[in-house]
Structure 1
């Protein structure tokens, strides 16, 4: 009977491919950052930004699938290529026995290296979940059909919190300080975060960076955040039918925040309407000529789901092409490395 330990090489192959891809993505991101976008230019789509962060995990999974199931519709790969190199095949796990020990060392080192980041993410997730449960008990006001929890946040902020069942929270002082039109802009901006499930996406992005560290990991997440904020700005502009009103609301929120914030930190997984240092870009993008009219707001979709759909389609393609060729090339390389 084959020991379950022989599956370790497949896990090590997944980790190795993902880590190499993470380094490549991070280096490309650092190189691309030397050419910043013009101030008024709209950022690339949030799905594309998220896909860049998810790329290492997706590429690792695709490569591992090609290794485990080479040409699944064309017969036995192992019989065709012989035993001149180790085999990583789901049908003949025993052929991977020579790779069990080095795979165990690789996986152990990876787990030890990533454990602090994963534990930090787990603590942030638990704290955010507790914050969300407490926020659900706060007083609720409804505006344009959106339930808003009013809280004494300490920071003059409006944000969405919660991964699976998100809610909108607005600081009580900020709410009282805003005009009716600015309140509507803020509420619809946050509603877009809710509909897109951006809290879930942020959690998945942070998990991917924790498991497969990248030289530009945090920068990639912040780039996705910036694109998500612009997407929600456009949604609010479509709902109000006036991009200038949303831009004015952003400026108003930033003024109130700068004057009255006591420096309290928001939960780690909160998606806020604050513009911060990106205020100029967001305002200029809102005032651009190609903004949607009322009733023509962008379609909202979850970036994790979009990436998963594309990855599933690519996985099916991997079984057909390059399949056997890619599988055999990796196995041959492994054979040269261990002999």
Structure 2
């Protein structure tokens, strides 16, 4: 059993590594030939989570193979190939020994991935410390803070709170200010803070240029989605006016500009491309496709067993 677990873990690590390399190459080509083109929601979902989808596909294929053989749904050809051949069934587990090269390769890949994920948790810990400090000063749902910078942001994962600087009152009119508050409230309703931290865990697998590009794409989509949601309540003209007012806020001082995506693209999406940002990401379709592929691979389990045995 231990040898099989090591082989399966190595297979999944190789699949994740291959997926990461594929995404890196795809984003490099995209930035070279289509740098100003925005990724669609489906493309962004597929590219960002490709390592996760690939690992899930392998897991389902192996799970379906074990389950299918156990219940007689898949032909068990273990005895036809001999017990020395790796078999995905509990009755005839392989007795092969994992070699040192396999263990070394697995250790290196898991170690690199662990260090990348550790950095994300360190950043998350800093965020939680900041949130504790803020909540110790201001504990209401909407809080005003005295700072020379112009800021509007949401902090907190389990109990998110909104923080706005009083300086915004001096720079923006009351109508725009209400729109900004509504914008931040929509972030809370959409649970954007925990979603972005989940995305950050996946992005940790990539190099800095790819991570920066994909993070910016997710932020852009998030902001455009909120723009459309607010447009349904207040009208497109009112949301567009608030976006134009945000452009006039100094970029070096404002969290609204630095973390709010590209205002020009948001205006274009709001006024021209009126439905793209509202399209829900096809999570259900992706999971269904992966499950179907996993089932199909399970029926070709002999090739999968041979490949795992070759890794071993």
TM-score bracket, normalised by the shorter chain, equals 0.7 to 0.9
* Aligned counterpart, 1:107: 106
Is 2:153 the partner of 1:159? Answer: yes
Is 2:164 the partner of 1:180? Answer: no
Deviation per CA, 1:85-131: give whole Å up to 9, x if none: 75262525841633364442222101322343222211110111122
What are structure 1's unaligned runs of at least 5 residues? Answer: 142-146, 267-271
Q: CA, structure 1 residues 256+5, in 2 after alignment: closer, same or farther (shift >3 Å)?
A: same
Residue pair 1:159, 1:170 contacting (<8 A) in 2 also: yes
Residue pair 1:185, 1:237 contacting (<8 A) in 2 also: no
Shift of 1:335: 4.5
The residue correspondences of 1:214-225 to structure 2 (distance < 5 A) are 216-225=210-219
Q: CA RMSD in A?
A: 3.5
Is 2:50 the partner of 1:66? Answer: no
Deviation per CA, 1:133-184: give whole Å up to 9, x if none: 333345477xxxxx42222455422122233332222222124432221122
Which stretch of the first structure deviates more once superposed, 107-116 or 210-219? 210-219
Residue pair 2:120, 2:201 contacting (<8 A) in 1 also: yes
TM-score by length of 1: 0.75
Secondary structure at the aligned position of 1:170 is classed as: strand
What are structure 2's unaligned runs of at least 5 residues? Answer: none
Is 2:229 the partner of 1:235? Answer: yes
Is 2:270 the partner of 1:286? Answer: yes
Shift of 1:231: 1.0
Is 2:100 the partner of 1:116? Answer: no
TM-score by length of 2: 0.81
More helix by share: 2
* Aligned counterpart, 1:328: 302
Q: CA, structure 1 residues 50+278, in 2 after alignment: closer, same or farther (shift >3 Å)?
A: same
Q: CA, structure 1 residues 123+17, in 2 after alignment: closer, same or farther (shift >3 Å)?
A: same
Secondary structure at the aligned position of 1:168 is classed as: strand
Distance 2:298 2:159 in 1: 40
Which stretch of the first structure deviates more once superposed, 245-254 or 213-222? 213-222
Distance 1:321 1:313 in 2: 12
Residue pair 1:77, 1:324 contacting (<8 A) in 2 also: no
Residue pair 2:65, 2:74 contacting (<8 A) in 1 also: no
Q: CA, structure 1 residues 229+205, in 2 after alignment: closer, same or farther (shift >3 Å)?
A: same
Q: CA, structure 1 residues 13+175, in 2 after alignment: closer, same or farther (shift >3 Å)?
A: farther
* Aligned counterpart, 2:28: 30
Distance 2:258 2:125 in 1: 24
